[in-house]
Amino acid sequence: MLNKLTKNLNQILLAVGTIILALIVGGVIISFSGNSPLDAYFSMFNGAFGSKQRFMEVLVRMIPLVIMALGTSVAFKANLWNIGGDGQFIMGSIFAVFVTIYSGLPPVIGIPVSILAAMLGGGLWAGLAGWLKVKFNANEVITTLMLNYIAVYFLSFLVYGPMMDPKGSKMPQTEIIPQAFRLPLFESGNRLHMGIFLALIIVIIMIFFWKSTVGFKIGLLGQGEKVTTYAGVSVKKMIVFTMIISGLLAGISGWTEIYGVQYRLLEGITSGYGSMAIVIALMGGLNPIGILISGFFFSALLVGGATMQRMTAIPFSIVDIVQGLIIIFIIARTAVNFKEIKNKIVRRMGHVK
Amino acid sequence: MLSNIFTVSFFVSLLASTIRLATPILLPALGQIYTQRAGILNLSVEGTMTIGAVAGFAATYYSGSLWLGILMGMAFGMLYSLLMAVLSVTLRANQVIAGTALNILGIGLAVFFYRVIFGIQSLPPQVEPFQMLKIPFLSEIPVIGVILFQHNIIVYLSFVMVVITWFILEKTTFGLKIKAVGENPKAADSKGVNVSKYRYFAVLIGGIYAGAAGAFMSIAYLNIFTESIIGGRGFIAVAVVIFARFLPIRAMWGALLFGVASALQLRLQALGIDVANQLMLMLPYALTIIALVLASKKADFPSAYAIPYSRKER
């Protein structure tokens, strides 16, 4: 018990250290631009936590990000590099809105059906990449990425074409989904919606998922194909299955954004959540609680960064820079063998004596 | 009606723009042939190209020299890929994650410094791009002259690089060593080839090509810089290398295939034909998937593909 506690504490300290290091390097880059890093970070912090409304906005961003990062973590645990979260998010959203607008189902049935449709859209899109991998040995990194572009253009085709709001003023967007289908808001004045509970429930489900046989098998997949074959699991089926799970979570993430925030399909609905979900999943150690915490941190960075850009002359891209740096430090940390370096130093010191 | 559209002049302009649009895929693909042959899967080509695009653009904007722009694109491309080399060769990190991180970082850095250098302007700053260089006599040949010999100099040079890349990889000791460290690093090591050194070379050369291609986009194709200027071409180039089974000549055909897909979209749009434009825009990306599917089973991947090398784990 105590062992586990110190292990967790170590992990948290390492994570905090990584973030601080990334912020320091990011600060150096900010100072290149002739701005003060302290001003930048203060404005970012204030932008995320300065008022109740801003804090609520952090939570709003956190909902789709955490759900998508959980999806990403499923694939990553199996060493499947699904970086197509954006595409799966979009396909999930398209399927869901399609059902809601055209089926005419009453909300009682229509809402659950729209969630299932979102899961189907996201799952199919990721499953396709999984199937191409096992069937044709096509690298999933490239296929999931290409499927992102295809989804983006498909969405754009729909909102400019067949799904464009017939009553709207030729804006590239679908008609708005009826009030009864939307996720209720907590209070007027900010955008926080009930989707936050959905996100928390999914975090809890994922904790149990990793303890289940299925979760265990997915973990095995990540430890090499041989092991999985020995454990009596069909590797090919598991790869497709893992990708589907990963994608359906991205689909749900799209559903929360559409039914909780946007209420319609329009271009650019993912706002680059996909790459951020990768960072969140890795920073969270692919662990549901870790993802929840790192999801909160990165949502704050996102909201704070947007405020900083408005308040100062520092571009928002510093947020991307910090994200990239954090992943680099994480992989550098796990790749460098600290023991080896320590031994080397000890040996050298010995020579000096 | 169709006969009105598919005239000779349509095909001529289609094929001419095919060659132009193949260039920013061909160049990074040629570079990645070195990198992938040496056993490194560098997915950060997209980010490296974006860095090359902003470096080339800024250098040209302030110096007025297009050649300095290309040179700076190459220099910054190489510098940036040094990060990938450190992560993948020295630190033996997971190459997919390293590549993904460097894409996020690269695009972030490029946009950040573009904003810092140029600020926010109502009209995007522009440069005067490379002019068309008509090859004497050859460009006078009807049809073929227009298709092949009326491009800017970078386009010609890129196609010359196909032969040079082939020559270096197939006919020089340097090329042999690059291939050896990707095929069988252990054996190469025992023959006295410094595996890390040649993998560094391979990644840096890939960075130079990618940087040049990025600069091509901002100063020889468009004359502005935007955040999404590369538009997935870096990833397509990585796929082209696999599709081409790591051979320069085939990479050229692969790049031309993507060129034709993009050109078709642009030409049809220019003619005002009502094929939903967004569906046409999907074409190169869908083609990438199809190409990967067709090629991946047959592709003879280097044996040590994407596997870090450590002397201790012999």
A325 → closest Cβ in B103, B105, B289: B105
How far apart (Å, rounded) are the C-alpha atoms in residues B179 and B38?
5
- Asked whether residue A352 carries a pLDDT value surpassing 80, the answer given is no
Inter-chain touch A156–B278, beta carbons under 8 Å = yes
- In chain A, positions 132-171, which contact chain B (CB-CB < 8 Å)? 132, 136-139, 141-143, 145-147, 149-150, 153-154, 156-157, 160-161
Question: So what's the pLDDT on residue A353?
Answer: 40
Inter-chain touch B105–A149, beta carbons under 8 Å = no
Q: Where are the domains of chain B?
A: 15-231
Per DSSP, the three-state class of A221 is helix
Q: A25 lies in a domain?
A: no
Q: A260 lies in a domain?
A: yes
CATH of the domain at A95: 1.10.3470
Select the highest-mean-pLDDT range: A28-32, A187-191, B74-78, B310-314: B74-78
- Asked whether residue A83 carries a pLDDT value surpassing 50, the answer given is yes
Q: Quick: pLDDT tens for A203-256.
A: 999 999 999 999 998 988 888 766 666 566 688 899 999 999 999 999 999 999
Question: So what's the pLDDT on residue A337?
Answer: 57
Q: Side chain identity at A26, as an amino acid letter?
A: G
Q: Quick: pLDDT tens for B271-298.
A: 766 667 888 888 889 988 998 898 877 7
Chain A to chain B Cβ contacts (< 8 Å): 141
Domain assignment of residue A181, given as a range: 33-352
Q: Side chain identity at B152, as an amino acid letter?
A: N
Q: A165 lies in a domain?
A: yes
Q: A344 lies in a domain?
A: yes
Question: So what's the pLDDT on residue B140?
Answer: 81
Mean pLDDT of A53-80: 96
Contacts for A144 with CB less than 8 Å, ≥ 6 apart = A81, A82, A83, A84, A87, A126, A129
Q: With bands split at pLDDT 50, 70 and 90, how would you rate the model's confidence at A52? A: very high
- Asked whether residue A161 carries a pLDDT value surpassing 60, the answer given is yes
Q: Quick: pLDDT tens for B27-53.
A: 999 999 999 999 999 999 999 999 999
Q: How many domains does chain A have?
A: 1
Contacts for A101 with CB less than 8 Å, ≥ 6 apart = A163, A174, A175, A177
Question: So what's the pLDDT on residue A342?
Answer: 58
Mean pLDDT of chain B: 90
Per DSSP, the three-state class of A40 is helix
- Asked whether residue B211 carries a pLDDT value surpassing 70, the answer given is yes
How far apart (Å, rounded) are the C-alpha atoms in residues B52 and B55?
5
Q: Side chain identity at A342, as an amino acid letter?
A: K
Q: How many Å separate Cα B118 from the centre of its chain?
A: 26
Q: A7 lies in a domain?
A: no
Contacts for A304 with CB less than 8 Å, ≥ 6 apart = A43, A44, A45, A46, A47, A48, A49
Residue with tokens 């920073």: A283
Interface test with B, best of A31, A153, A310, A336 (most B CBs within 10 A): A153
Q: A121 lies in a domain?
A: yes
Q: Decide if A126 contacts A243 (C-beta within 8 A).
A: yes
Q: Report DSSP letters for A84-136, one per residue.
A: -HHHHHHHHHHHHHHHHHHH---HHHHHHHHHHHHHHHHHHHHHHHHHHHHHH
What are residue B209's phi and psi, to 5 degrees? Answer: -60, -45
Q: How many Å separate Cα A72 from the centre of its chain?
A: 7
Q: A258 lies in a domain?
A: yes
Question: So what's the pLDDT on residue A231?
Answer: 62
Question: So what's the pLDDT on residue A252?
Answer: 98
Range of lowest pLDDT (A243-247, B139-143, B199-203): B139-143
Mean pLDDT of B220-246: 91
